[in-house]
Structure 1
Amino acid sequence: MQQDSSSTNTSLSDSPANLAASSVLGLCFALGVPGNIAVLVLLSRWLKGGSFTPKLLLSLAVSDLMALLLLPVWIYALLHDWVFGLVWCKILSYIVYWSLYCSVLSVTLLSVQRYVQVLHPQKWAKLREHGLNGLVCGIWILSGVLCCYALIQRRVKLEKDGHFRCGAHYRNISEIVATLSWETLVLFVFAFPVLVYFYVRLHRGVSQSASLNTHRMTKLVIRIVATFFIFWLPYHITNIVLIITILLGHENVLRFAEAGREITGSLVVINSCVNPFIYAFSARVLRQSTSGTDTA
């Protein structure tokens, strides 16, 4: 039995697809974890009571870090086997989903907040500090509720090649379609139009602002939103293709779409380690904003 298990693990680690995926995840971990930790240290040092944009950036960095810190577990599972049991499969999967939902909602609120604060400052001023802090807490609570299905669906399964995998387990086709539709509805149909709308309105209106630092902070937010859009859009397009192919019953296309979902899913992880580099290029703006030069 030990010999068979060793043979299975060797075949897993020798698989080109698994080696490529684990290499990408390893690079994301090596770059993203130190980068997001540096962002957390800098933002927490510069954070002041009246600065809300940095609070949202801090929330985004925490959510990114949550997903990145778990990458070694998934890398080990890719190269060897899932040996952590059912409970940890559910818990770790839930944390990943929680961080992704929180990341989406943080970026969405970031675009809305920046638009209202820059172009409608009187309306934004009506929100007190407790109300602003409530928005951040609300993002985390709502994210945890929206992704709770991961606790139910994630299972440890024995694959045809003889190794265990922590993945989604659906009871029927309807559940697959419902899950993919839910993710597409919340993370795409709702979030992306909001992002695009306020991105365009902010870009058009910010030229009327007299504050140079406001211009710079707004450009930082736009970079984050644009980067988020680039890395997330392929994932949701693949989700939509999957839903269509499942409903039409095209099995050949379905296998191709599932493989595409694995690839586009890695882009989402890459997005989590790109944000710190965007912050690094705007460190001066963040420091000025949090020190009171800008009321962001």
Structure 2
Amino acid sequence: MQSSARRRQHVPTPGLPARLGSTQQEDGTRNSRFHLDLWFYFTLQNWLLDFGRPIVMLLLPLDWFPLNKPSAGDYFHMAYNIITPLLLLKLIDRSPKTLPNSVIYVSIITFVMGASIHLVGDSVNHRLIFSGYQLHLSVRDNPIMQNLQPSSLVDSFELLYYYDEYVGHSMWYIPFFLILFIYFTGCFTNSRKESSMPLSAWTLLLPSSLYYWYLVTEGQIFIIFIFTFFAMLAIILNKKRKGLYLDSNGLFLLFSFSTALLLIAAWIIWLWNDKVLRKKYPGVIYIPEPWAYYTLHINSFH
């Protein structure tokens, strides 16, 4: 009777990964093959559904998607909010080291909620471009806001901007990078021969790095990104003392983050003396958004 009860306690929840949150053996005892399928789908959907959504919104005729209706980019964002959590769960499922189920569930729920908040704010924000809104200026400094009556409506737009840029981004990206970090902690092997990347990983490296560059600059999440990067370095040093090495998946993540960091540095140096962008980003961390650069230096030419 007791053994039967013990067996029932370990029955996995239907529809969920059987090993999510289970206790794993020491690192290096698993097959560390490169997860090409997941990384390919992850990179592809990031470029199409996240980076591509505002571009699709601007390219498609306005008659197809009136300003008082969701744009094509909004539907891309909705698809992103569904597909990305599934891919993140797949990553966690393939990692031998995970947090308890409750931590994973809360992270995914927070991610979806934050991305959904961003969906609303970003939709209104980018639709305002058609009315003359300039992303390189603050909400209150925009010409269309200065003529808005009553003037208290500007406060409502600033609240929308706050939910989009701060609340939405924090709830979106903190669990996103947390899950990537959890996955990374399991990307170690005790075989030095397995500590290398196949050609397929090198092929995906630049697209992946460029996306992280876009994510950090447009999302204004450098602190979250650099904290995750340093945490990854700390894990590497700790595992190295145990005689463990990064496998191909861990190397892919590390090189993607490292290359993205170099791209961010190049981006900052290139726009270092831009007085207009300096005014919008006056803080210690000066990282202009690509779409702010677009409305300032590219869109003005049309």
The TM tier, using the shorter chain, reads 0.3 to 0.5
Computing the radius of gyration from Cα coordinates, the structure with the larger value is 2
Of structures 1 and 2, the one with the larger relative CO (CA 8 A, separation 6+) is: 1
TM-score (norm 1): 0.38
Bigger helix fraction: 1
